[in-house]
């Protein structure tokens, strides 16, 4: 699903954000990407999401070399990737249903089909009664569930979540993580960037630890080693 070969990413005038990162994530996996702030978690996410290109090395997403994907083809690649951010990135002047409908409208689905899918996904995240509300009238946990619904409504093969619970209390954190877990159970590959060690402990999944742009450890043993 995702393969990185000696990936290096450097921003001008800064220390390398990623240094010789090699990594493979299989289809259907649930992987935590962890490490302190500035470790390179978000940079790696942005590379996978084609928001940036690696300075050197190779990155394959769905078997395609991202560096060779034409800019005009990037949107079509992104339609197979759902993304969730710490700050939700919802449009405040659109209703919950309108926010969630966005990825389907981009794909050109018929309004009736959009409505059906939006209704179904909002039901699955427990927000069917909030469809007509505006994001700012919702709690943080609800807003993040809307963001997860938007990321999942297009049935993506890959779900990227960058600190999805960073702004949430423990109870809401578990609600959101359960949604990601459920998506993984339905076959979506999930990559979650977090520095919340309780999540790593609770969900016994593969953990890739980054520090100063390098992969320090990779695998379930990370918990036993107490890295996180």
Partner 1 sequence: MSARRPFYFVGRAVEAMARRPSVAFVSILTIFVAAFVIGLFAAVLRGGERLLGAWAGEVHISVYLDPAADLDAARAAAQTAAPGRTVEAVSAPVALQRFRASLGAQGALLDGLRPDLLPPSVEVRAPGIALAEARSLAARLQGVPGAREVDYGNAWLERLERLLERLRWAGIGLFVALALGAAVLVANTLRLGVFARRDEIDIMRLVGATDLFVETPFLLEGLLQGLAGGVLAAGALVGICALALPGLATAGLPLARSEVLPPALIGAVVGGGAALGLLASALAVGRELGRRAR
* Candidate list 13, 37, 110, 226; residue touching partner 1; CB under 8 A: 110
Q: Which is nearer to partner 1, 121 or 174 (CB)?
A: 121
Can you tell me the distance from the alpha carbon of 203 to that of 130, in angstroms, rounded to the nearest whole number? 29
Q: Which is nearer to partner 1, 24 or 76 (CB)?
A: 76
Q: SS3 letters for the chain?
A: CEEEEEEEECCCCCCCCEEEEEEEECCCCEEEEECCCCCCHHHHHHHHCCCCCCCEEEEEECCEEHHHCCHHHHHHHHCCEEEEECCCCCCCCCCHHHHHHHHHHHCCCCHHHHHHHHHHHHHHCCCHHHCCCCHHHCCHHHHHHHHHHHHHCCCCCEEEEECCCCCCCHHHHHHHHHHHHHHHHCCCEEEEECCCHHHHHHCCCEEEEEECCEEEEECCHHHHHCCC
Q: Per rule CB under 8 A, is residue 78 in the interface with partner 1?
A: yes
Q: Per rule CB under 8 A, is residue 52 in the interface with partner 1?
A: yes
Q: Per rule CB under 8 A, is residue 11 in the interface with partner 1?
A: no
Q: Which is nearer to partner 1, 8 or 79 (CB)?
A: 79
Number of residues that bind partner 1 (CB under 8 A): 26
Measured CA to CA in angstroms, residue 205 lies from 70, 152, 194 at distances of 34, 20, 13
Stretch of 10-18, 70-78, 177-185, 220-228 contacting partner 1, by CB under 8 A: 70-78
Cβ atoms of 18 and 40 within 8 Å: the answer is yes
* Candidate list 13, 63, 93, 170; residue touching partner 1; CB under 8 A: 93
* Candidate list 14, 72, 171, 224; residue touching partner 1; CB under 8 A: 72
Stretch of 69-77, 163-171, 181-189, 194-202 contacting partner 1, by CB under 8 A: 69-77
Q: Which is nearer to partner 1, 6 or 89 (CB)?
A: 89
Q: Per rule CB under 8 A, is residue 197 in the interface with partner 1?
A: no
Q: Per rule CB under 8 A, is residue 87 in the interface with partner 1?
A: no
Can you tell me the distance from the alpha carbon of 152 to that of 144, in angstroms, rounded to the nearest whole number? 12
* Candidate list 12, 13, 63, 71; residue touching partner 1; CB under 8 A: 71
Can you tell me the distance from the alpha carbon of 227 to that of 113, in angstroms, rounded to the nearest whole number? 46
Q: Which of residues 128-187 bind partner 1 (CB under 8 A)?
A: 150, 154
Q: Per rule CB under 8 A, is residue 220 in the interface with partner 1?
A: no
Q: Per rule CB under 8 A, is residue 70 in the interface with partner 1?
A: no
What residues line the site for partner 1 (CB under 8 A)?
A: 50-53, 71-72, 74-79, 83, 89, 91, 93, 102-103, 105-108, 110-111, 150, 154
């Amino acid at each position: 699903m995702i393969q990185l070969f000696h990936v290096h990413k450097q921003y001008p005038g800064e220390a390398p954000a990623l240094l010789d990162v090699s990594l493979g994530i299989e289809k259907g996996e649930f992987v935590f990407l962890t490490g302190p702030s500035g470790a390179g978690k978000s940079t790696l996410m942005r590379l996978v999401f084609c928001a940036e290109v690696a300075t050197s090395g190779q990155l394959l997403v769905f078997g395609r070399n991202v560096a060779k994907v034409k800019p005009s083809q990037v949107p079509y690649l992104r339609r197979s990737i759902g993304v969730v951010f710490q700050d939700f990135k919802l449009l405040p002047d659109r209703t919950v249903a309108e926010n969630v409908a966005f990825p389907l409208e981009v794909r050109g689905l018929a309004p009736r089909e959009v409505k059906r899918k939006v209704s179904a996904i909002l039901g699955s995240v427990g927000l069917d009664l909030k469809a007509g509300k505006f994001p700012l009238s919702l709690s943080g946990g609800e807003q993040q569930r809307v963001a997860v619904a938007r990321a999942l409504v297009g049935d993506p093969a890959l779900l990227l979540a960058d600190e999805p619970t960073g702004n949430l209390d423990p109870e809401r954190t578990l609600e959101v993580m359960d949604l990601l877990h459920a998506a993984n159970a339905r076959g979506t590959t999930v990559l979650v960037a977090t520095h919340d060690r309780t999540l790593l402990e609770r969900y016994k999944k593969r953990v890739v630890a980054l520090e100063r742009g390098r992969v320090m450890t990779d695998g379930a043993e990370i918990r036993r080693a107490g890295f996180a």
